[in-house]
């Protein structure tokens, strides 16, 4: 417990220094930054000439293809019209507001319960269950700082760097109405390849320090052999029941991913109803070190990246 408290104290300082270091390397060469992260994860060089596993292919796509649609569709706010165009508007979480500047947030107009986040971030989310206890001054300052971060730069994700940042507030989904007891929403992250869903990475019981995970195939068979325990990601021993809306989820992932060599479609299910989360074109920024090499190769074989 003491170790975790010490980590919490120094984590912001470490993250700030790491961002500075990664920013310098980005400005030297974004591709070299990707090389650096890949070597740090796998202790080998990224094969740019003949990419094989899914992380090599994701990084190849970052720097060798047109990612302009990623800029729009990885945006948690601007993706909404695309979801509607795909006939999935009923899966969108209710939107309460959008702001370009933290100082513009109308806290009084928001309901007692809501979730607030930036359109381009990952993990920096305000979950408000009782607005009367919310320190709005603190959160205004925090979102001001988040908007001024160059998200994506430190992990070599050019489409996030190009994304105009904003803040969105949405309905807070009830995590008590799920198929298994979880301290957080259960994420159903569906790996999809040009309209072909393939595997589902399930994440739940999220905290700042850990997250329980498991990989399932489309027939809802668990594959613990595809997962690797890491400091943050822990292979779960809890059997997650097959979602009631699994068929609808798979259909949604097929529609949303059509035309893209690889994209992970992240969804939720509350009280049997599926909800859209986001589209992730560079899962884990292309450094999915919490999967076995066999699974990384298996996913890589499914991604047709059109190399000449």
Task: Give tens-digit pLDDT for 220-239.
Answer: 999 999 999 998 999 999 99
Task: Give tens-digit pLDDT for 61-104.
Answer: 999 999 999 999 999 999 999 999 999 999 999 999 999 999 99
Mean pLDDT computed over every residue of the chain: 93
Tell me the H-state helices in 241-302.
Answer: 246-257, 293-302
d(CA 37, CA 60): 14
SS3 sequence, 188-256?
Answer: EEEEECCCCEEEEEEEECCCCCCEEEEEEECCCCECHHHECCCCCEEECCCCCCCCCCHHHHHHHHHHH
d(CA 292, CA 204): 20
User: Angle 2-28/30-42 helices, nearest 10 degrees?
Assistant: 140
Looking at residue 185, what is its pLDDT? Answer: 96
Q: Which two tokens stand for residue 186?
A: 């259960």
Looking at residue 121, what is its pLDDT? Answer: 87
Phi and psi of 116, rounded to 5°?
Answer: -130, 140
d(CA 143, CA 149): 10
Looking at residue 111, what is its pLDDT? Answer: 97
Report all structural domains of the chain as residue ranges with CATH numbers, in order of start. Answer: 47-75+174-308 (3.30.470), 94-172 (no CATH)
Looking at residue 17, what is its pLDDT? Answer: 56
Task: Give tens-digit pLDDT for 58-69.
Answer: 999 999 999 999
d(CA 290, CA 288): 5
Looking at residue 122, what is its pLDDT? Answer: 82
Looking at residue 28, what is its pLDDT? Answer: 75
List of the chain residues with pLDDT < 50: 1-2, 308
């Amino acid at each position: 417990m003491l170790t975790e408290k010490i980590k919490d104290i120094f984590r912001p300082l470490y993250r700030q220094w790491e961002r500075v270091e990664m920013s310098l390397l980005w400005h030297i060469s974004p591709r070299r930054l990707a090389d650096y992260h890949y070597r740090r994860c796998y202790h080998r060089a990224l094969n740019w000439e003949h990419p094989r596993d899914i992380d090599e292919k994701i990084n190849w796509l970052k720097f060798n293809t047109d990612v302009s649609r990623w800029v729009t569709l990885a945006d948690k706010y601007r993706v909404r019209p695309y979801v509607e165009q795909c006939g999935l508007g009923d899966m969108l979480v209710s939107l309460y507001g959008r702001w370009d500047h933290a100082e513009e947030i109308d806290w009084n107009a928001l309901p007692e319960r809501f979730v607030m986040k930036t359109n381009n971030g990952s993990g920096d989310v305000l979950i408000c269950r009782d607005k009367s206890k919310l320190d709005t001054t603190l959160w205004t300052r925090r979102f001001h700082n988040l908007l001024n971060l160059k998200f994506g730069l430190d992990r070599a994700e050019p489409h996030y760097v190009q994304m105009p940042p904003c803040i969105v507030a949405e309905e807070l989904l009830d995590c008590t109405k799920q198929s298994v007891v979880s301290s957080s929403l259960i994420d159903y992250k569906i790996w999809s390849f040009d309209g072909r869903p393939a595997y589902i990475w399930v994440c739940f019981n999220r905290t700042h320090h850990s997250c329980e995970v498991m990989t399932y195939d489309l027939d809802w068979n668990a594959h613990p052999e595809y997962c690797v325990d890491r400091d943050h990601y822990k292979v779960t021993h809890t059997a997650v029941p097959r979602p009631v809306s699994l068929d609808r989820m798979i259909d949604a992932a097929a529609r949303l991913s059509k035309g893209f060599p690889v994209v992970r479609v992240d969804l939720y299910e509350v009280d049997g109803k599926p909800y859209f989360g986001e589209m992730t074109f560079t899962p884990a920024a292309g450094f999915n070190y919490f999967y076995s090499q066999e699974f990384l190769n298996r996913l890589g074989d499914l991604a047709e990246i059109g190399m000449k």
